[in-house]
Amino acid sequence: MLEKRPTWSQIQTVAELQNTVKKQGYQIAQLEARIQEFKTVVKAEDDNPVKILGDGPLSGTNETSVMSDKTYRRRGGLLRIQPATVPVDTVAFYAYFSSSFPASIAHRILTFDTVITNVGNAYHPHSGTFIAPRSGLYVFTWTIRLRYNFFHTTELVVNNNAVN
């Protein structure tokens, strides 16, 4: 009986799957390293007191706030307080430039090339725009570093109007 040889597409599929397994192995190793870092931090903080301040809601939505002005000690690695809830429809993004570039073009929209967080998909990395999916309070911060004594202005634009 003759042995059936694999087709080119089967060979290619196996190669792609092997590449995927290799990438996933690398990602698992990175995640395990991060877990170890977090375990080290948690272990170091186990006996440190935690100060909780504030007695108001975290925002105007349906959230619970932590109300206290007391110092708590961790027991068994867990802090025994009521955690603040996060609304289901949270919107947040965090992005940055992975390399520097000249800031010489006026009226240029900066499109971040590395997006870490895009909860709610309100940041559109291809156009560099954030489109608020609903009305509410949004907070934006950015940091720009320039060499020597150079300066460069930036502005936040909302509905085609610069916000100062």
Determine if the pTM surpasses 0.85.
no
Same domain, residue pair 160 and 122: yes
Tokens encoding 105: 């073009």
Same domain, residue pair 38 and 63: no
Domain presence at residue 138: yes
Kindly provide the b/e burial profile for residues 107-145, where b requires at least 16 CB atoms within 10 angstroms of the residue's own CB.
Answer: eeeeeeeeeeebeeebbeeeeeebeeeeeeeeeeeeeee
Domain presence at residue 96: yes
Same domain, residue pair 63 and 108: no
Same domain, residue pair 146 and 136: yes
Backbone phi and psi for residue 33, each to the nearest 5 degrees, phi listed first = -65, -40
Per-residue pLDDT of the chain (164 residues; tens, 9 = 90+): 678 888 998 899 999 999 999 999 999 999 999 999 888 877 777 656 555 555 544 444 444 444 444 555 555 555 555 555 655 678 898 998 888 877 667 777 888 889 999 998 999 988 888 998 988 888 888 888 887 887 778 888 888 888 87
Same domain, residue pair 52 and 98: no
Q: Give the total residue count for the chain.
A: 164
Which of the listed residues 59, 84, 109 is the one where a domain comes to its end? 84
Domain presence at residue 53: yes
Which has the closest alpha carbon to 164: 150, 148, 152, 153? 153
Q: What is the pLDDT of residue 122?
A: 92
Same domain, residue pair 105 and 137: yes
Domain presence at residue 60: yes
Q: Are 125 and 115 in contact (CB under 8 A)?
A: yes
Number of domains in the chain: 3
Domain presence at residue 150: yes
Which of the listed residues 84, 105, 137 is the one where a domain comes to its end? 84
Q: What is the pLDDT of residue 62?
A: 44
Domain presence at residue 2: no
d(CA 59, CA 86): 10
Residue 123's domain comprises: 89-164
Same domain, residue pair 40 and 51: no
